[in-house]
Chain A
Amino acid sequence: QSALTQPASVSGSPGQSITISCTGTSSDVGSYNLVSWYQQHPGKAPKLMIYEVSKRPSGVSNRFSGSKSGNTASLTISGLQAEDEADYYCCSYAGSSTFGVFGGGTKLTVL
């Protein structure tokens, strides 16, 4: 069982928007603005999409955005495109001892 809870799957049609939730606790997501999101295509390494809750690395489309409320972080993808179909993982800092916890991953299907 993963430390952070994500829906197993979400889907949307091209052009639509979807949101993936990531629920943690007051010991991780709720305590630190150090939530990141990773995109992983089959057989490939994960790619950083969002860091520090809502910041985008250089080169990542502005169709990707992040937010947080309480113990739940969210990733929103607007204007869905076929290439967005992938697995998405959230990750949160959880203190100096536990350090990093990931969500179980969400499979995004673009219909």
Chain B
Amino acid sequence: QVQLVESGGGLVKPGGSLRLSCAASGFTFSDYYMSWIRQAPGKGLEWVSYISSSSSYTNYADSVKGRFTISRDNAKNSLYLQMNSLRAEDTAVYYCARDGVVAATTLFDYWGQGTLVTVSS
């Protein structure tokens, strides 16, 4: 069965950095586009970033562009999100989610359980 397991969340000071990981299993990871989606406490969902199956294409929400970097290691079936210059407004549960095969289409058919990132002094 498809499983996505995030890790790496925690408490970080404003301006700090954090690297999230997402371990995938139960499907051919290298075939799929993958996304990070976040949810601030008590708020709605916000798409953050996606990466193509071969890492050729990436895209970012304006709110994180220039501060966050998405990457993947298909040999390790893993997705990453490097988050720099963190701000209080980045506080959220971060989910990794599987998207399409041919393209990123916002068809997020599997989600991880999420990892909480708290940015506070």
Closest to B49 in A: A99
A100 touches B47 (CB 8 A): yes
Q: Which residues of B contact A93 (CB under 8 A)?
A: 105-106
Say yes or no for B68: interface residue by CB 8 A criterion: no
B111 touches A34 (CB 8 A): no
Give the Cβ gap from B20 to chain A, nearest Cβ, in Å.
Answer: 15
Contact with A along B71-109 (1 / 0, CB 8 A): 000000000000000000000000100000000111111
Say yes or no for A69: interface residue by CB 8 A criterion: no
Partner of B105 from A2, A34, A48, A104 at Cβ < 8 Å: A34
Say yes or no for B44: interface residue by CB 8 A criterion: yes
B44 touches A102 (CB 8 A): yes
A92 touches B106 (CB 8 A): yes
Say yes or no for A64: interface residue by CB 8 A criterion: no
Residues facing B in A1-22 (CB within 8 A) are: 2
Say yes or no for B31: interface residue by CB 8 A criterion: no
The CA-CA distance from A93 to B106 in the complex, in Å, is 6
A102 touches B45 (CB 8 A): yes
Say yes or no for A105: interface residue by CB 8 A criterion: yes
Say yes or no for A52: interface residue by CB 8 A criterion: yes
Closest to A91 in B: B106
Residues facing B in A43-61 (CB within 8 A) are: 45-48, 51-52, 57
> How many residues on B have C-beta within 8 angstroms of the other chain's C-beta atoms?
20
11 additional A-B residue pairs with CB within 8 Å, beyond A99-B104, A100-B35: A36-B108, A38-B108, A46-B111, A48-B107, A48-B110, A51-B109, A52-B107, A91-B106, A93-B106, A99-B50, A105-B45
B106 touches A34 (CB 8 A): yes
The CA-CA distance from A97 to B44 in the complex, in Å, is 21
Q: Which residues of A contact B45 (CB under 8 A)?
A: 38, 46, 89, 91, 102, 105
B109 touches A102 (CB 8 A): no
Say yes or no for A101: interface residue by CB 8 A criterion: yes
The CA-CA distance from A83 to B45 in the complex, in Å, is 21
Contact with A along B14-55 (1 / 0, CB 8 A): 000000000000000000000100000000111100100000
Say yes or no for A103: interface residue by CB 8 A criterion: yes
A101 touches B47 (CB 8 A): yes
Known contacts A34-B106, A36-B107; is-contact A103 B44 (Cβ 8 Å): yes
